A and B are shown apart, each in its own frame.
Chain A
Amino acid sequence: MSNKILAFVESKDGKFKNSAFEVVTEANKIATDSGAELIVLSIGTGVDAEAKNLASYGAKKLFSVDLADINSKAPAQGFQYSPSSFAKVISEVAGSQNANIILLSGTSLGKDLIGRIAVKTNSSVFNDCVDLKIKDGNIIASRPVYAGKSIIDVKANNDKLVLSLRPNVFKAHKVENENIDIEKVDVNTLNLNEKDFSSVVKEIVVSNEKLDVAEADRIVSGGRGLRGPENFNLIEDLAASIGGATGASRAVVDAGWRPHSEQVGQTGKTVSPSLYIACGISGAIQHMAGMSSSKCIVAINKDKDAPIFQIANYGIVGDVFEIIPALTDEFKKVVSN
């Protein structure tokens, strides 16, 4: 049985996002390991100039759909995009190209599209995969469940599959390839209709330029040990010294010290950065569930018995108010070298 893989890549303002390179790398690896063909699909604006970038991660064939062309099919104008239309386009291209396996990155957009695509294409669906293997010709995916307290290995009961990769887990790797054939897709062949624009994104509001904790490779989080919202500048400075994002425990979010968008944990965000520094966070099960798959965990806490030390790779027991500034200074020295 020969598989054909379609990888969907996201772009912004003509540039492919990091998640695009992660998806192409993994899709190329799966394609190579299973003898499948790989095609890449992009919906965006002016990405053709950047296509060579995709090539260097293993993409040899790119189907390019222009966002403005899609939007022109809507009954009314004046919006950014419609997720349903993206799901339709991806499903139609996969169908016409006979791609039975569709890969997306589990970004906000990816997570919104994957269920829709699964129903449209009658595919099994795995959301938020952290590992993929080929066994006996099948793709076996590992995905975290119970907020990451457990992992399940799953297989499709179907030869059609759509899956999403957790961002920042599958690393993008360049390969020896420069050639990419770009085919522009004619939207008139995609069966877009009114229903595909039944909900539209009117506006995208960027929250004050801060790096989002869900996208960051380095995170510094603060908890109740910081004693008050006024002390979180220590967390922000430490994060800035390593180019990281700031995160927060549920306790300080519920207390109103930090916004919910920074919350890491079972009812917040699940993150898997290369480096996670937890300051003044005791390590409730629900917090740990949100960050335990971080590659390197550092804990700073005055309580040597705090549960967080049990999952930390490194830790310092002591006063956060002394340690955090000292750490910030030391990082600044080292990072500037």
Chain B
Amino acid sequence: MKIIVCVSLVPDSTTKVKVSDSQKSIDESGVSYILNPYDEFAVEEALKLKEKNGGEVIAVSFGTDKAKDAIKKSFQMGAEKGVLIKSSSADFDTFTVAKNLSDYLKGQNADIILFGKQSIDFDGLLVPSMVSEFLNIPSISVVVKLDIEGDKVTAEREVEGGKEIVEATLPIIIGAQKGLNEPRYPNLKSIMAAKSKPIEEIPATYTGNTVEIIEMKLPPAKAGGKIFTNGKDDVAELVRLLREEAKVI
């Protein structure tokens, strides 16, 4: 089975976000970067599919040189090869990511291409379905359960109030949701093995953002709230305020 997983590097979720001087991006000083958490579920699922069906897992990323770290983390989990589609600039939008990935993936004939359902920086939830359109391959996202028997795909996808059971046939694009599996922790052996795994670098095929960021700002600060300290004796007053002041009850 040829299994490709697309990964990206994102700021750690504990990052306290500050806006940079350009007012259009985050201030990167002091930020530590991690493999996008949703991509971990994608990599794990890729490895499980390889263990069951044979084949290889290739980790692909689009971005600047820094993106190699996402590939290296994938290697530590067990991916065998990596490809960096190298962008000359850090200023690219979702369309540019999807287009570059698609241009590469077109020639790869993968059986399955896995993504995390969204990256926790731009929270677009767009790349898997856009790549699906560019490649003309079906995609299923927010997947919490995946079964592949032969070329038959059955996936459970989370929706409001429940789940959808979706069917398709290979080749397929999957957007992984938390709960799909339990990502394995790299051990010393896999971390050492990762060091010699190859990352192929190829140039970006497309530039040209379709969305322009005019401004990045912090959400309005909340004015200090009314905090009571008498425990349950404050309940009546709290409810009165919710009703009369906040008007939410």
**What is A's interface to B at a CB cutoff of 8 Å?**
79-80, 84, 87, 107-109, 111-116, 118-120, 123-128, 140, 144-158, 195, 198-207, 210-212, 214-215, 218, 242, 260-261, 266-268, 274-275, 285-286, 289, 292-293, 295-299, 304, 309-319, 322-323, 326-327, 330-331, 334-335
Contacts and interface: CB of A to CB of B under 8 A. Distances in A.
Contact of B249 (A126, A309, A331): A331
Contacts of B138: 84, 198-199
B26 A150 contact: yes
- What's the interface size class on B, roughly? 35 or more
Contact of B178 (A203, A260, A286, A298): A260
A157 B211 contact: yes
Contacts of B37: 267
B220 to A, nearest CB: 9
Given A146-B121, A150-B216, A203 B127 contact: no
A148 B121 CA distance: 10
B226 A158 contact: no
Contact of B231 (A195, A293, A323): A323
Nearest to B38: A267
A116 B130 contact: yes
B231 A314 contact: no
Interface string B230-249: 11101110110111001011
A206 B161 contact: yes
Interface of B: 11, 13-17, 19, 24, 26, 37-38, 94-95, 98, 120-130, 132-134, 136-142, 144, 158-169, 172, 178-179, 209-219, 222, 225-232, 234-236, 238-239, 241-243, 246, 248-249
A335 B249 contact: yes
B95 A212 contact: no
Q: Is the interface of B mostly helix, strand, loop or mixed?
A: mixed
B141 A112 contact: yes
A297 B211 CA distance: 33
Contact of B211 (A156, A215, A327): A156
A148 B219 contact: yes
B218 A151 contact: yes
Contacts, number: 262
5 contacts: A108-B142, A115-B127, A154-B212, A211-B161, A335-B249
A318 B231 contact: yes
B239 A327 contact: yes
A204 B162 contact: yes
A206 B162 contact: yes
B225 A313 contact: yes
Nearest to A292: B219
A195 B136 contact: yes
A208 to B, nearest CB: 9
8 closest A-B pairs by CB = A318-B231, A115-B129, A119-B133, A108-B159, A199-B138, A199-B168, A198-B138, A115-B126
Contact of B164 (A148, A201, A293): A201
Contacts of A297: 222, 225
